[in-house]
Amino acid sequence: MAEILDAAWSLARSNGLLSFSLRDLATKVGMQAPSLYQYFASKDDIYDAMFRQGAVECLAEVGVDAAAPDRREAFRQSARRMFDFATSDPVRAQLLFQRTIPGFEPSAESYAPAVEMVEGMRALVAAHGITDPDAMDLWTAMIGGLVAQQLSNDPGGSRWARLVDRTVDMFLAEMDPDHDEAPQRKGQTR
Amino acid sequence: MAEILDAAWSLARSNGLLSFSLRDLATKVGMQAPSLYQYFASKDDIYDAMFRQGAVECLAEVGVDAAAPDRREAFRQSARRMFDFATSDPVRAQLLFQRTIPGFEPSAESYAPAVEMVEGMRALVAAHGITDPDAMDLWTAMIGGLVAQQLSNDPGGSRWARLVDRTVDMFLAEMDPDHDEAPQRKGQTR
DNA sequence: GTCTATATTTGGATAGAC
DNA sequence: GTCTATCCAAATATAGAC
Domain membership flag for residue B169: yes
- The number of domains in chain B is 1
* Partner-chain contact B141 A148, CB within 8 Å: yes
Residue span of the structural domain in which B88 resides:
63-175
The residue with greater pLDDT, B66 or B85, is B85
In this complex, the residue of A19, A148, A152 whose CB is nearest that of residue B102 is A19
Q: pLDDT band at residue A183, thresholds of 50, 70 and 90?
A: low
Cβ pair A140:B149 closer than 8 A: yes
pLDDT 10s digits, B107-133: 999 999 999 999 999 999 999 999 999
- Test A159 with B137 for CB contact under 8 angstroms: yes
What is the structure's pLDDT at B68?
76
| Average pLDDT value for residue range A163-181 | 87
Q: Does a structural domain hold residue B101?
A: yes
Decide if pLDDT at A134 tops 80: yes
Q: Read off the DSSP letter of residue A154.
A: S
Helix H or strand E segment including B50: helix B43-62
DSSP-derived secondary structure for A32-100: -GGGGGGT-SSHHHHHHHHHHHHHHHHHHHH---TT-S-HHHHHHHHHHHHHHHHHH-HHHHIIIII--
Q: Which of A16, A94, A170 sits opposite B170 (nearest CB)?
A: A170
Q: Cα separation of B20 and A65, whole Å?
A: 46
Hey, is A137 helix, strand or coil?
helix
The string of pLDDT tens digits covering residues A147-168 is: 999 999 999 999 999 999 999 9
A-B C-beta contacts closer than 8 Å: 86
Q: What is the mean pLDDT of chain B?
A: 92
The answer to whether position B157 is within a domain reads yes
Q: Which residues of A touch B160 (CB under 8 A)?
A: 137, 141
Residues of B with CB under 8 A from a CB of A: 16, 18-19, 94, 98-100, 102, 134, 137-138, 140-146, 148-149, 152, 159-160, 162-163, 166-167, 170-171, 173-174
- Predicted model pTM: 0.93
CB-based contact B137:A160 (threshold 8 Å): yes
Q: Which residue of A has its CA nearest to B183?
A: A174
Residue A28 belongs to some domain of the structure? no
The answer to whether residue B80 sits within a structural domain is yes
| Distance between B85 CA and the closest CA of chain A, angstroms | 17
Please state, for a pLDDT cut of 70, what percent of chain A lies above it: 92
User: What pLDDT sits at residue B178?
Assistant: 63
Is A141 within 8 Å of B159 when comparing Cβ atoms? no
DSSP, residue by residue, A95-134 = IIII---SS----HHHHHHHHHHHHHHHHHHHHTT---TT
Q: What is the pLDDT of residue A161?
A: 98
- pLDDT surpassing 70 at residue B185: no
* Through-space separation of residue B14 CA and nucleotide C18 C1' in angstroms: 36
A184 pLDDT more than 70? no
Q: Is residue A142 part of a domain?
A: yes
| First-to-final CA distance of chain B | 38
Q: Hey, of B96, B97, B174, B178, which one would you mutate to test binding to chain A, going by the most A CBs within 10 A of its CB?
A: B174
A109 within a domain of the structure (yes/no): yes
Rg (CA), chain B: 19
pLDDT tier for residue A27 given thresholds of 50, 70 and 90: very high
pLDDT band at B61; cut points 50, 70, 90: very high
3-state secondary structure of B177: coil
| Structural domain contains residue A58 | no
Tell me which residue in B141, B146, B166 faces A146 most closely, judged by beta carbons.
B141
When pLDDT is cut at 50, 70 and 90, the band that residue A34 belongs to is: very high
